[in-house]
Amino acid sequence: EVQLVESGGGLIQPGGSLRLSCAASGFIVSDNYMSWVRQAPGKGLEWVSIIYDGGSTYYADSVEGRFTISRDNSENTLYLQMNSLRAEDTAVYYCVRDFCDSSGYHCAFDIWGQGTMVTVSS
Amino acid sequence: DIQMTQSPSTLSASVGDRVTITCRASQSISHWLAWYQQKPGKAPKLLIYKASSLESGVPSRFSGSGSGTEFTLTIISLQPDDFATYYCQHYNTYPYTFGQGTKLEIK
């Protein structure tokens, strides 16, 4: 079964760091583009970051320089290292698999994890 | 960034009804649009991609149309399981952005 399971969320003080993990099963993370999408409480969805199969990464302006997406091929796991956290980073973070057209330039999100909650508060 | 605007924000309907949700992009996105369904406490689920292609396993009562800047999601013969929040998302260029959501409620 194709599945994504996130972990690592929790309550963290402003300025702190947290690392989210996303364990994949049923497919190979490194063969796919993978992204993180977040949703603040009661709000809409916001794309956060992507890692391409070749390893290149890209970030939303709101997290550029503070968040780092990476993966461990041997563990088939995706990560999101979050530093200098702010109150506005409070959200459920979803790990998603990108579902791309043949060019690889256009990707919807076909597989979603259950999400992990990150709360940034003193 | 491309802005996505959905209407209406809330829609009340009854089982068996046909409903349409509209999504407008602030600039042309060709057909690079997806629709997702989200239920409370759950992750979004992909329904439609490339504006009108039905994701595998999604009931055929869901359909999408449009291109350029205006898109629609139509659900015919609403079922109890369809009451949820629906989001559109463009994937033309980064950053990909989502609409604010349309909550489909039981009348």
Within 10 A of A105 (CB to CB), how many other CB atoms are there? 12
Within 10 A of A7 (CB to CB), how many other CB atoms are there? 14
- Cβ distance B49 to A99 less than 8 Å, yes or no, reads yes
SS3 A16: coil
Tell me which DSSP letter residue A84 carries.
S
Measured between CA atoms, the residue of chain B closest to residue A94 is B43
Each residue of A56-115: pLDDT tens digit? 999 999 999 999 999 999 999 999 999 999 999 999 999 999 988 888 888 999 999 999
3-state secondary structure B21-49: EEEEECCCCCCCEEEEEECCCCCCEEEEE
Read off the tokens for B74.
């139509």
pLDDT at A26 over 90: yes
Q: Which residues of A29-44 are buried (b: 16+ CB within 10 A; e: fewer)?
A: bbebbbbbbbbeeeeb
Confidence of residue A37 (pLDDT cuts 50, 70, 90): very high
Confidence of residue A42 (pLDDT cuts 50, 70, 90): very high
Distance of CA A23 to the CA centre of its chain: 11
Read off the tokens for A114.
């259950």
Each residue of A54-70: pLDDT tens digit? 999 999 999 999 999 99
Among chain B, residues having any CB pair with chain A shorter than 8 Å are 32, 34, 36, 42-46, 49-50, 55, 87, 89, 91-92, 94-101
pLDDT per position in chain B (107 positions), as tens? Answer: 999 999 999 999 999 999 999 999 999 999 999 999 999 999 999 999 999 999 999 999 999 999 999 999 999 999 999 999 999 999 999 999 999 999 999 99
Taking CB atoms and an 8 Å cutoff, what residues of chain A touch B87?
44-45
SS3 A79: strand
